[in-house]
Structure 1
Amino acid sequence: MALFLLPAARVTRNTFLGLLWAGTTVSLCFVLFRLWVRIKTFKRFFSDDYLVILAWSMLLGTSILWQIESFALYDQYAVFRGEKAIYPGFLEKGEAFMHTIVPFGILFYSGLWSVKLALLFFFKRLGYEIKVHKIWWWSVMSITVITYIVCIADMNYKCSLNSYEYILTVCGTKENAHSNNHTFYANCAIDIFTDCCILSVPILILWNSRVPTRKKIILLGLFSLTVIVIIISIIRVAVVSSTDTNVDTSWLYFWSNIEVTTSIIIACLTSFRQLFVHSQTRTNQEPNPSHYVIAPASTSRKGSLPYFTTSLKNSHGSNPRKPTWPSERLESQTYIVPLDSVHIKHNVDVSNTSKRSLDRAPSHHTFCESV
């Protein structure tokens, strides 16, 4: 970042901090409501809940850090635009601020990738026991971890952690600006690629399920809310990148915070429908939600769980059990039940072939085997 090529700030400090804290507060409301529903419904948290909490903690840390360092940033804008005279300690203050650019970047990518992992672990419970889904899930998980490492590794550490003199003399060239732009474009492509890979996980599950087409469309629409994050990621790079000068730092992190805030809200919205429906269909004996899976369209293969598509009766009467798939009641005969509630009944005829018992009717014994 070249300070003598520093562009004018597109957003004022008060607006920047106001929207930053507003996003942090709104996303906190969604996270707290998500956790409240989890406790009320499942009496516990899951791995994706902790990852969402981690993502919000990263956003909170970013907000606190910007509250402290925003003075130094906007002082740089004022001085290098000729709106304010250089004052004693300005250079030291500017160098200290430049050293915080790397922590800002790490917090941004860590928060964003925590949400990606939260979505992955949420989708994992929907069809993880099916072999092909398990393989693809682990593939996407590997891609997500690798891309996070790449985004952290390709940040411009030299123009953030070096001395202020080095930053002024070396990082102010157009070549450095072009290099930064290439990094933004590459990381944006990586961000979009990982989102598409993560979105493919529930699509693969629904594509091979017995869920009616209308329900598939509804659920795909719910899961596809991540497309909003993709759009914001594209906007972030499109409005920030510049061909001749380094990026406007305030504008860059303004959109970065919008992206992280939106991704946290989307992660919460994606799970709300499942939470509400499960809450409505709960019984006094509540099973573990991790036992719920989606029945595939074909018969069970090796490596996958057995699925039962007949009308099942509960232990209290003759009415079929309500489906526990995270949506409204399915309009088909496919009911998904927890595996520990399924029993197989075998009727075995045992007869005595001795002459003495030919006149006797065969006795019947019933065995009930739990799956």
Structure 2
Amino acid sequence: PTQGINWLFFSLSVIALASRLYIRITVFRKLIAEDFLMLATLCLLIADEALGQRFSATIYWFMGVLNGTKSYGTDLTGFLDAASAMLKALGSAIIFFLAALYVIKANFMFFFRRLGSRGSKLFFTLWWIAFGIVMACGVVSLCMGIQTFRCLFNGIVYTLENCESDADQNVYFTYFKVTVALDIITDAIIIAFPIWILWGVQISTRKKVALGAIFSLVGLTIVATILRGAILTSVFEESEAGKTINIPWIWFWFHIELCISVIVACLVSFRSLFMHNREQVSGEAQRRAAALRRRRNLGLRGQFKYWQDSVFDACRTLEGLDFDDGVTL
């Protein structure tokens, strides 16, 4: 079942990002900085998914041998080589996961900076401070894992000889706990900016409800991070009790959290959720709506044109463009 859930979340992530890019190109005819960051995230997500699919059988074989439920057969060298490759893939997946998370955080930071382009000098000063803190946390998350990565990238023999003591296990556990804590702290810092931007802005009840839903989704990423911490705690407690570390379960939750972060980043990217627009529909918008209704009655060609214009107008609305003046924050 985890394979099916993996593919489901991966597919939703790709669809969400493709929709975001389609809307951006439809409206602006170009991509902006945040979009390129999300494309980089997609590359990291695809790499993570590819490694998981490539080495899934090896992971379960490795786990089975350690648990005594499977045999490595007559080719011990082949098993050790496969296990070494799998551990290197796991190390790469952890790096991809952490890098992708902080690229997504950078996407959020640039997005909220653009939203606050008319903000005060204090806003930009605090934004730079917050951006520096978030990026520093990303560097710390990667650099603190050097010991863990050493055990994963140096081969199975090195791992068995140098990375199996209780002290080594505590180092891994501490590292993953710190990454979870830094992840939650940086999410809290990022969430503070949209709250600040919207503090003095009058928006409709409909948009307040939409924003509440979006903030709930951002909160979902924090919940996913907390779950990652709880699962890692459970895994390491089982390890201390003599059980084998559940590598597939760790890999699975890393992947799910990354997919959720991509989906949330794409949903939050639409500026219309943060706009201060008029409650009355403008005259130009009324004229466009009337034109769309007329096209709807012009046969198949008119129906297609009606659908095309409707999609285009929906994209403009999601990007927060008003037909008359495009007033934004």
1:84 partner amino acid: K
Is 1:140 paired with 2:130? yes
Quick check: 1:41–1:275 contact (8 Å CA) kept in 2?
Answer: no
Quick check: 1:240–1:251 contact (8 Å CA) kept in 2?
Answer: no
TM-score, with length taken from structure 2: 0.76
Structure-2 change in CA distance of 1:105 and 1:197 (3 Å): same
2:140 aligns with 150
Structure-2 change in CA distance of 1:283 and 1:53 (3 Å): farther
Quick check: 1:108–1:257 contact (8 Å CA) kept in 2?
Answer: yes
Alignment partner of 1:68 out of 45, 54, 76: 54
State the Cα deviation string for residues 204-234 of structure 1 (Å, max 9, x = none).
1222x24259578446525522111000000
1:257 Cα deviation from its structure 2 partner: 0.7
Is 1:211 paired with 2:197? no
With CA pairs under 8 Å and 6+ residues apart, which has the higher RCO, 1 or 2? 2
TM-score, with length taken from structure 1: 0.68
Q: Using the aligned pairs only, state the percent identity.
A: 29
Q: Distance in 2 between matches of 1:66 and 1:143?
A: 31
Structure-2 change in CA distance of 1:219 and 1:19 (3 Å): closer
State the Cα deviation string for residues 121-143 of structure 1 (Å, max 9, x = none).
11111113421111111112111
Alignment partner of 2:255 out of 254, 257, 265: 257
**Which has the larger strand fraction?**
1
Matched position secondary structure for 1:99: helix
Matched position secondary structure for 1:44: coil
1:54 Cα deviation from its structure 2 partner: 1.4
Structure showing greater Rg: 1
Q: Distance in 1 between matches of 2:67 and 2:223?
A: 32
Q: How do 1:184-263 residues align onto structure 2 when only pairs under 5 Å count?
A: 184-207=176-199, 209-211=200-202, 214=205, 217-218=208-209, 220-224=211-215, 225-241=217-233, 242-243=236-237, 245=239, 247-263=245-261
Is 1:176 paired with 2:168? yes
Structure-2 change in CA distance of 1:77 and 1:151 (3 Å): same
1:265 Cα deviation from its structure 2 partner: 0.6
1:84 Cα deviation from its structure 2 partner: 1.6
1:195 Cα deviation from its structure 2 partner: 0.6
1:145 Cα deviation from its structure 2 partner: 1.1
Q: How do 1:50-89 residues align onto structure 2 when only pairs under 5 Å count?
A: 50-87=36-73, 88=75, 89=78
1:181 Cα deviation from its structure 2 partner: 1.4
State the Cα deviation string for residues 136-161 of structure 1 (Å, max 9, x = none).
11112111211111111111122112
Matched position secondary structure for 2:237: coil
1:82 partner amino acid: G
1:94 aligns with 83
Bigger mean CA offset, 80-89 vs 228-237: 80-89
Gaps of 5+ in 1: 1-14, 285-323, 330-334, 340-371
Bigger mean CA offset, 124-133 vs 242-251: 242-251
Quick check: 2:85–2:155 contact (8 Å CA) kept in 1?
Answer: no
Q: How do 1:27-42 residues align onto structure 2 when only pairs under 5 Å count?
A: 27-42=13-28
**Which has the larger helix fraction?**
2
State the Cα deviation string for residues 307-339 of structure 1 (Å, max 9, x = none).
xxxxxxxxxxxxxxxxx997799xxxxx98479
Structure-2 change in CA distance of 1:39 and 1:328 (3 Å): closer
1:198 Cα deviation from its structure 2 partner: 0.7
Quick check: 1:240–1:247 contact (8 Å CA) kept in 2?
Answer: no
Matched position secondary structure for 2:269: helix
Q: Distance in 2 between matches of 1:69 and 1:132?
A: 49
Quick check: 1:178–1:243 contact (8 Å CA) kept in 2?
Answer: no
Matched position secondary structure for 1:265: helix
2:293 aligns with none
Q: Distance in 1 between matches of 2:179 and 2:42?
A: 21
Structure-2 change in CA distance of 1:338 and 1:21 (3 Å): closer
Q: How do 1:272-287 residues align onto structure 2 when only pairs under 5 Å count?
A: 272=270, 274=272
Matched position secondary structure for 1:100: helix
